[in-house]
Amino acid sequence: MTIKYLKREEIDKVKWNSCVHFSSTSNIFGYTWYLDNVAKEWDGLIEGDYESVFPIIKKSLYFNTEIVHQPDLLPKAGLYSIHVLSTKRIQAFIENIPKEYQYIKVHFHHAISNRNFVDFPHFELKDYQLMLNQSYEMIQKKYSDELVTVLNEENEIILDSGVKPETLADFYMQCNPKSKEAHRHTYMRIIYNILHRGTGFSSVAKDKNGKIIAADFFAFENGKMLSLMPSYQGEQGKKALWKLYDMMIQSNANKPLALDFNTAMGDAGAETFGAEQTKYQVLHINQLPIWKKWMLAL
């Protein structure tokens, strides 16, 4: 197995994207256009003629220190391959991360399990997915009592779609005041890219006055409907978001799809829908000297 390290400008994006597309674990987070939008700097580890690819997302700190980190808007990525993701292959890629990086944090996708990391420091995070390959009535049986009560409430919530990316990004920023202004522009670029490819759509909930109180943007990829921007304002907005999700479930029931709540981007009440908990691994290596560790908080 030959693995080489290439700078971003050396990467053949057609071959890279082809590997991600044909990987059994394909998701939008591995494509060059997504990585270019969420990461200021990234390079890649590549097996053979782009048979497997692994993005190395970098961040520069003080004192000429570079780390491998997980950007805020990239929930999970990791290794993509047209081959079986064996422990041997996974560990080979991890071992080929240049030793100059004394701090490494990478969120891997669900296909890579805990047993693949026995020789490396790591921890687990949870996510939730709801299978939609059955009738709406069967899915609804898993709903919590609280959710059923909310869905049966009389209100004047209006569901809508086709909202401009700028409006969606502005609303997300209002609901997440800790988000950086740069995130707004990044979200718009991501949404425009997905809309251009015809693989996603926005959905919002409005009150009786036409004010948006809940919103999300969904992307379809590899048998999943991925929630990318769940956001709401106040208790009414939370209920509206639940109604929005319920409508998505009704519209896509009996399809070979999974609704990925993508809780790394914000918890939209996945458990109340009866979604199943899944886990993903985070490679976490910290060999920075003590006097440099303070930089990680910046």
How does pLDDT run across 192-245, given as a tens digit for each residue? 999 999 999 999 999 989 999 999 999 998 889 999 989 999 899 999 999 999
Q: Could you give the CA distance from residue 277 to residue 216 in angstroms, rounded to a whole number?
A: 21
> Has residue 157 got a pLDDT over 60?
yes
> Has residue 52 got a pLDDT over 60?
yes
Q: Could you give the CA distance from residue 190 to residue 274 in angstroms, rounded to a whole number?
A: 29
Is 51:81 a contact under the CB 8 Å cutoff? Answer: yes
For the chain, domains (ranges, CATH) are 3-125+280-297 (3.40.630.30), 143-273 (3.40.630.30)
Average pLDDT on 142-160 reads 91
Q: What is residue 259's predicted lDDT score, i.e. its pLDDT?
A: 94
Q: Torsion over CA of 80, 86, 88 and 90, rounded to 10 degrees?
A: 30
Is 82:266 a contact under the CB 8 Å cutoff? Answer: no
CA 176 remoteness from chain centre: 17
Average pLDDT on 140-152 reads 94
Q: Could you give the CA distance from residue 153 to residue 264 in angstroms, rounded to a whole number?
A: 29
Q: Could you give the CA distance from residue 70 to residue 34 in angstroms, rounded to a whole number?
A: 13
Q: What is residue 266's predicted lDDT score, i.e. its pLDDT?
A: 54
Token pair 């919590």 in the structure block, residue: 144
Q: pLDDT category, 114, cuts 50, 70, 90?
A: low
> Has residue 264 got a pLDDT over 70?
no
